[in-house]
């Protein structure tokens, strides 16, 4: 059984790309650099951001999603059946290349297995996190020009995502996070959306978390038990820690979002600690992980790192209090 | 051949009724146009201090010119300036409202699109330095130069866009007002009325008001009718035509309220009403003006004229005074390349329709 410090600290997934890496990507896109250099730079960037996370004390790092431009795009580029028309706005001045499904969805080859293996080799931590975009979100964030319904598309994607998660399990991954930020977007679709996620994790025996952000959690709550995952990673800092009561009675783990990823103001450790004491009124500390609200990639790297440092320092304040009660460790749970 | 026969049948069935000549037909673009990648890059460069505000302003003017020229050449009769300076339908307006702070990101209805929410912490009131009227003035000047350049005789109508009071209030985090009607009232009289006045004084003939909440279906009918009544009153008091644009819900959710604004232009989302539109469209009989959103701003599938013709024919029989053929919602949800194709189709279809049923051709 693998143990983790109580209130394990982790990230949701993405982390700012180092500036030099962005320059190389730009050079690659305009033909100045080749594949080989890009691969070398990507590897170096992953090593750099693992180091950032471990240096500030993150217990469960990710590879910062260095190789991914965007969470749906990346998968759509590697699954047969998609094409791209151009960028679409998500908020403010932020865009993504929203894919369109134009033919049958087909699994071609492993998508993130190499990412995991590289991360595993370069992290000193016993557990690392791999993120994978969920079938419902890929379906919802794509234009559907091929399937009769979004439901049909989501279940086709569930097969593909399920295959990928099993491949991750085969090579030794311990913790996969399925990202489903779109899950509550269309309340009428939630019944089958939850089934599509369950289909994707069917037969999986490793820890699976589910990340849902910027959403109406009261819509998610009725599905907490039904969803076959161990953990829900939710965003709370952005909403000023409103809606905490939604996790009351949660029988699974919570990945508690304590860092606002859309603000450049670095939180104080005491602010993080206060939020943690608050959430512990609703949930036992043995079932709480601590993370930012969402991926950090839109922040400057120095701010992202400072925010993670503040988060870890805030956790330390609470850990000291919990240690007085003899609470210092929790097991890595595959099932709750 | 059965398909040929069907097409012939549709054409005949749709175009031989006397009623078809009763409506003036117009083409229209409502809401935002996808922010062009080049402009987005400029904004990023400005935000990271690499270019000056003057350079950014030149960028806005360049892309506004490009869009207005494109729309004018397409013969679109009514359009906005694409809302290229807006991040969403609330921002940057809420930056210029006293009593409102700009809060976190919230989902814009059922879309993968987010807005910064207005957090109401005090009595709301429009600030004196709100630049929105000046932006309209600038876009009007650009349109003027486009018209001159293209030698167009009949002028298209440029619509400034504002969020509706109900949509603003429902999407606000209200920490100040004890009841919703009070907040809505202040949004109407302290924020929107002075803006509408200023826009009218700068020459706006029609002001597009975005009220998805009217049809979205989460607000009680009494409140919706209260808001529609206020909008009708503003229009009457200020002697200005409003284009009340609804979307993301069936028009059947707001039929009662539309009566209060029936002297204005009511915009409906026919894509969201596909399942039930036949049950309610008779309510629009003899309306002064109706804008039918038939081009789907949330899908890359390009509409076939035959299908559009089928839908539009139903409305042509209702003896509506002015029928506007439009997109159904803001176009932020599709790539620019698709928006261009849809607007071309919209223009081509409306041109064809005008040639068959009349309407004001430009």
- Crossing angle of helices A150-170 and A113-122, in 10° steps, is 40
Question: Does position B6 have pLDDT exceeding 50, yes or no?
Answer: no
CA nearest neighbour of B35 among A70, A298, A89:
A89
- Count CB neighbours of A285 within 10 A: 18
Q: How far apart are CA B176 and CA B124, in angstroms?
A: 9
- What is d(CA A218, CA A238) in angstroms, rounded to the nearest whole number? 16
Domains within chain A, CATH numbers bracketed: 3-69+117-331 (3.20.20.210)
Average of pLDDT values for A13-36?
96
A302-335 pLDDT, tens digit per residue, is: 999 999 999 999 999 999 999 999 999 999 999 8
% of residues, chain B, pLDDT over 90: 86
Looking at beta carbons, which residues of chain B come within 8 Å of A102? none
What the block records as the tokens of B50 is 């690499």
The CB density around residue A157, as the number of other CB atoms within 10 Å, is: 29
pLDDT confidence of B154, banded at 50, 70, 90? confident
Q: Per the omega criterion (within 30 degrees of 0), is the bond before B331 cis?
A: no
Expressed in angstroms, the distance from the first to the final Cα of chain A is 14
pLDDT in tens, A184-230: 999 999 999 999 999 999 999 999 999 999 999 999 999 999 999 99
Is residue A232 within a helix (H) or strand (E), and if so which, with residue range? Answer: strand A231-235
Q: Determine the CATH number of domain B2-357.
A: 3.20.20.210
Q: Shortest CB distance from B114 goes to which of A86, A90, A145?
A: A90
- Residue B40 with chain A: CB contacts under 8 Å: 87, 93, 95
Residue B362 pLDDT exceeds 60 = no
- Name chain B contacts of A216, Cβ cutoff 8 Å: 107
Q: What is the mean pLDDT of residues B288-295?
A: 97
Q: Which of B256, B153, B157 is nearest to B199 (CA)?
A: B157
Nearest residue in B to A187, CA atom: B110
Give the mean pLDDT of B161-187: 97
CA A62-A63-A68 angle, 5° bins: 120
Core vs surface per residue B146-171: b (16+ CB within 10 A) or e = bbeeeeeeeebbbbbbbbbbbbbbbb
Across the interface, of B91, B107, B332, the residue whose CB is closest to A215 is B107
Average pLDDT of the segment spanning B210-214: 98
| Residues facing residue B292 across a β-bridge | B268, B325
Residue B358 banded pLDDT, cuts 50, 70, 90? low
Q: Do A238 and B332 touch (CB under 8 A)?
A: no
Is residue B109 within 8 A of residue B88, CB to CB? The reply is: no
Interface probe, candidates A22, A85, A87, A91, chain B, greatest B C-beta count within 10 A: A91
Which residues on chain B are in Cβ contact (under 8 Å) with A214?
A: 105-107, 114
The distance of A1 to chain B (nearest Cα, Å) reads: 40
Q: What is the mean pLDDT of residues B165-180?
A: 97
List the helix and strand counts (H, then E) for chain A.
Answer: 10, 11
What is the per-residue pLDDT for B153?
86
Give me the mean pLDDT over the A76-82 stretch: 98
Q: What is the pLDDT of residue A8?
A: 98
Give B217's pLDDT tier (boundaries 50, 70, 90): confident
Q: What pLDDT is stored for residue B198 in this prediction? A: 98
Nearest to A105 by CA among A68, A71, A76: A76
Stretch among A2-16, A185-199, A275-289, B1-15 having the lowest mean pLDDT: B1-15
- Angle of helix A35-56 relative to helix A113-122, nearest 10 degrees, comes to 50
What is the rounded average pLDDT of the residues A80-96? Answer: 96
* Contact yes or no for B334 and A88 at CB 8 A: yes
Give residue B22's pLDDT.
66
Nearest CB to B336 within list A86, A215, A260: A86
Give the mean model confidence (pLDDT) for residues B101-113: 90
A contact test, residue of B271, B300, B303, B338 with most A CBs within 10 A: B300
Contact B104 A239 (CB under 8 A): yes
3-state secondary structure B78-134: EECCCCCCCCCCCCCHHHHEEEEEEEEEEECCCCCCEEEEEEEEEEEEECCCCCHHH
């Amino acid at each position: 059984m693998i143990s983790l410090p109580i209130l394990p600290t982790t990230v949701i997934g993405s982390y700012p790309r180092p500036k030099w890496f962005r320059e190389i990507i730009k050079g690659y896109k305009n033909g100045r650099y080749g594949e080989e250099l890009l691969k070398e730079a990507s590897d170096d960037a992953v090593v750099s951001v693992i180091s950032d996370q471990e240096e500030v004390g993150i217990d469960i790092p990710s590879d910062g999603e260095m190789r991914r431009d965007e969470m749906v795009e990346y998968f759509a580029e590697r699954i047969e059946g998609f094409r791209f028309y151009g960028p679409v706005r998500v908020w403010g001045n932020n865009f993504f290349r929203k894919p369109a499904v134009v033919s049958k969805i087909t699994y071609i080859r492993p998508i993130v297995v190499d990412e995991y293996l590289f991360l595993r080799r370069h992290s000193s931590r016993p557990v690392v996190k791999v993120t994978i975009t969920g079938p419902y979100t890929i379906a919802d964030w794509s234009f559907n020009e091929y399937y009769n319904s979004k439901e049909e598309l989501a279940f086709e994607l569930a097969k593909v995502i399920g295959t990928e998660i099993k491949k991750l399990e085969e090579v030794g991954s311990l913790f996969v996070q399925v990202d489903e930020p779109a899950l509550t977007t269309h309340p009428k679709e939630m019944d089958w959306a939850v089934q599509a996620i369950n289909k994707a994790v069917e037969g999986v025996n490793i820890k699976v978390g589910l990340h849902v952000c910027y959403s109406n959690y009261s819509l998610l709550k009725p599905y907490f038990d039904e969803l076959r995952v161990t953990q829900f990673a939710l965003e709370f800092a952005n909403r000023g820690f409103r809606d905490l009561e939604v996790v009351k009675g949660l029988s699974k783990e919570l990945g508690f979002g304590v860092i606002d990823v859309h603000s450049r103001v670095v939180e104080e450790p005491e602010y993080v600690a206060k939020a943690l004491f608050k959430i512990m009124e609703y949930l036992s500390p043995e079932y709480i992980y601590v993370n930012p609200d969402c991926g950090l990639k839109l922040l400057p790297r120095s701010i992202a790192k400072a925010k993670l440092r503040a988060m870890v320092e805030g956790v330390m304040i609470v850990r000291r209090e919990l240690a007085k009660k003899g609470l210092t460790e929790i097991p890595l749970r595959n099932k709750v | 051949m059965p398909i040929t026969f069907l097409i012939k049948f549709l054409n005949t069935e749709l175009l031989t009724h006397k009623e078809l000549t009763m409506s003036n037909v117009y083409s229209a673009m409502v809401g935002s146009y996808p922010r062009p990648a080049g402009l987005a890059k400029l904004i990023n460069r400005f935000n990271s201090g690499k270019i000056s505000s003057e350079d950014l302003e030149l960028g806005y003017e360049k892309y506004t010119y490009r869009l207005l020229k494109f729309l004018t050449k397409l013969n679109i009769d009514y359009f906005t300036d694409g809302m290229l300076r807006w991040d969403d339908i609330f921002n940057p307006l809420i930056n210029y409202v006293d009593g409102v702070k700009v809060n976190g990101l919230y989902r814009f209805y059922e879309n993968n699109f987010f807005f910064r929410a207005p957090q109401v912490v005090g009595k709301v009131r429009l600030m004196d330095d709100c630049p929105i009227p000046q932006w309209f003035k600038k876009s009007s000047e650009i349109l003027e130069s486009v018209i001159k350049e293209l030698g167009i005789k009949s002028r298209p109508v440029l619509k400034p866009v504002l969020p509706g009071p109900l949509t603003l209030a429902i999407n606000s985090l209200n920490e100040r007002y004890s009841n919703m009607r009070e907040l809505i009232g202040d949004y109407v009289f302290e924020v929107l009325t002075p803006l509408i006045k200023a826009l009218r004084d700068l020459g706006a003939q029609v002001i597009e008001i975005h009220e998805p909440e009217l049809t979205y279906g989460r607000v009680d009918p009494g409140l919706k009718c209260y808001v529609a009544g206020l909008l009708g009153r503003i229009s009457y008091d200020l002697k200005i035509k409003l284009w009340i644009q609804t979307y993301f819900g069936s028009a059947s959710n707001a039929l009662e309220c539309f009566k209060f604004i029936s002297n204005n232009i009511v915009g409906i989302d026919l894509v969201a009403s596909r399942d039930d539109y036949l049950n309610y469209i008779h309510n629009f009989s003899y309306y002064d003006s109706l804008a039918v959103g038939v081009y789907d701003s949330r899908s890359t599938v390009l509409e076939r004229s035959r299908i559009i013709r089928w839908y539009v024919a139903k409305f042509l029989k209702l003896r509506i005074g002015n029928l506007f053929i439009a997109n159904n919602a803001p176009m932020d949800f599709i790539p620019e390349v698709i928006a261009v194709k849809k607007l071309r189709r919209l223009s081509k279809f409306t041109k064809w329709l005008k040639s068959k049923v009349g309407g004001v051709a430009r």
